[in-house]
Amino acid sequence: MMNVVKLTSTDNLIEPSLKGKSFLRLADFKSSEILFLLDLALELKKQQKQGKPHAYLGGKVLGMIFEKSSTRTRVSFEVGMLQLGGHAIFLSSKDIQLGRGETISDTARVLSRYVDGIMVRTYGHESVEEFAKHATVPVINGLTDLHHPTQVMADLLTILEHKGKLAGLKLCYVGDGNNNMTHSLLEGAVKVGMHISVASPEGYEPNPEIVAAVKEEAKLTGSIVEITNNPIKAIFEADVVVTDVWTSMGHEEETATRLEVFKPFQVNNELCQHAKSDYIFLHCLPAHRGEEVAAEIIDGPHSVVFDEAENRLHAQKAIMKVLIG
C-alpha cells in the first residue's frame, strides 16, 4: 500500500456545507465535498486502528429501512454507528407499516420524530428521493436500482489507499452498464478527476441521461469518459478494473439470457493482460466466481476486494459523522 496524499483539510472533522444534507447520489455533491469525506474516512479509520475513541455521534440514532437483503450494508452501518457512539435500528419493510401500505411520506415524517438519520436500501430510486423530500433528518441511500453511492465512496477510498491518488487514474468497469454500480462509478470518478471507461454488451449500456450529465461534469474536472461495447478497448492501460454481478437483485428472471450475452465480458487473465501491470481489481461483492469474474482474478494478487469491503465501514462513518453529527 502506498502513502496516501491528504486531499483536503479535515482538522475540524466537519464540512459545514454537508451537515444535514441527504446522501442520495454522488452527482449531488461538489468535488471538494467528496474529497473531504474521503479524507475524513481515512482519519476515522486511522483513529479506529489506533484504538482512539471517536464517539462523535453519542446519543444519535440511525433508522435503517431494508427492502433488499444485505450483508455488508447492514453490518457496516450498524457497526459504524456503534463505533461513533450512536445506535442503529434495523427496520425490515416487512415488519413496519410501510410494508402494509403506509405511504413513504408518512413513514419519513414519523421516523424523523424518532431518529437522527435514515438509511434506505430499496428498489426504485424514486423511493429514496421521496423519503428525503418528506424527512426532516438526513437520508442516506444504502442502494437503489439506479445508484449505489456509499459503495462507490468505499471504492474511491480503496483506490486512494492503494494508489496514493485519484486524479489522473483510469478506472475501467466491465459488465452490466445499466446498473447502480456503473452509474455511481461514473458520477464518482469524474468528481475526483479520474478517467473512466465502461464496457458492456449492446443493449446493456449505462443510462444515457446519467452519461450525458457525467460528460458535462468531466469538462470541469478534466476526466475522460468512454462508453463502449469492446472490453479490450475499455481496459487498455487501466489502473483499476471493476465488475459486478451480471444479474442484479430484481432481474433474476433474466439470468439465463444474461449468462449467454455477458460471456465475452468476463474479467479474467486474458482480458486483464491489457490493463496496467500494477492494476487493482474491485468488486462490491457478493461475487459469482466463474461468471463475471474468474477465480484467478478475484482471488489473485491484484484483488483488493476485502479491503474494499472493509472500507464500506470507514466511508459510511465519514458520511454519518458529517451528515448527522
Residue 100, marked binder: no
Residue of 25, 54, 125, 148 marked catalytic = 148
SS3 227: strand
3-state secondary structure of 62: strand
| Residue 195, beta-bridge partner list | 170
Catalytic option among 151, 162, 183, 314:
151
Return d(Cα 323, Cα 325) in angstroms, integer. Answer: 6
Task: Tell me whether residue 244 is annotated as binding.
Answer: yes
Q: Is 151 a residue of the active site?
A: yes
Residue 151 annotated in ligand binding: yes
Check if 25 is active-site.
no
150 is in an annotated binding site: yes
Looking at the DSSP bridge assignments, the partners of residue 117 are: 62
Which member of 147, 183, 312, 314 is catalytic? 312
Q: Is residue 284 among the annotated active site residues?
A: yes
What distance in Å separates the CA atoms of residue 168 and residue 240, rounded to the nearest whole number?
A: 12
- Select which of 39, 83, 244, 283 is catalytic: 244
- Does the annotation list 248 as a binding residue? yes
121 is in an annotated binding site: yes
Catalytic: 172? no
Q: Is 149 annotated as contributing to ligand binding?
A: yes
Exactly one of 83, 284, 314, 316 is catalytic; name it: 284
**Residue 64 β-bridge partners:** 90, 119
- Residue 180 marked as a ligand binder: yes
Cα distance between residue 191 and residue 214, in whole Å: 9
Q: Is 273 considered catalytic here?
A: no
Tell me: is residue 3 an annotated ligand-binding position.
no
Annotated catalytic residue, options 54, 121, 125, 314:
121
Q: Is 312 a catalytic residue?
A: yes
For residue 62, which of 134, 128, 137 has the smallest C-alpha distance? 137
Q: Which helix (H) or strand (E) holds 244?
A: none
Cβ neighbour number for residue 184 with a 10 Å cutoff: 27
Q: Is the dihedral of CA 179, 153, 50, 116 positive or negative?
A: negative
- Cβ-proximal residues to 316 (8 Å cutoff; 6+ apart), any chain: 76, 77, 80, 140, 150, 153, 154
Q: What is d(CA 277, CA 247) in angstroms, rounded to the nearest whole number?
A: 29
> Is 208 within any annotated ligand binding site?
no
Classify the phi-psi angles of 236: left when phi > 0, otherwise alpha if psi is within -120 to 50, otherwise beta.
Answer: beta
CA angle (267, 162, 289) in 5-degree steps:
25
Residue list for the binding site? 70-73, 97, 121, 148-151, 180, 244, 248-249, 284-285, 312
Catalytic residues: 121, 148, 151, 244, 284, 312
Residue list for the binding site for carbamoyl phosphate? 70-73, 97, 121, 148-151, 284-285, 312
Residue list for the binding site for L-ornithine? 180, 244, 248-249
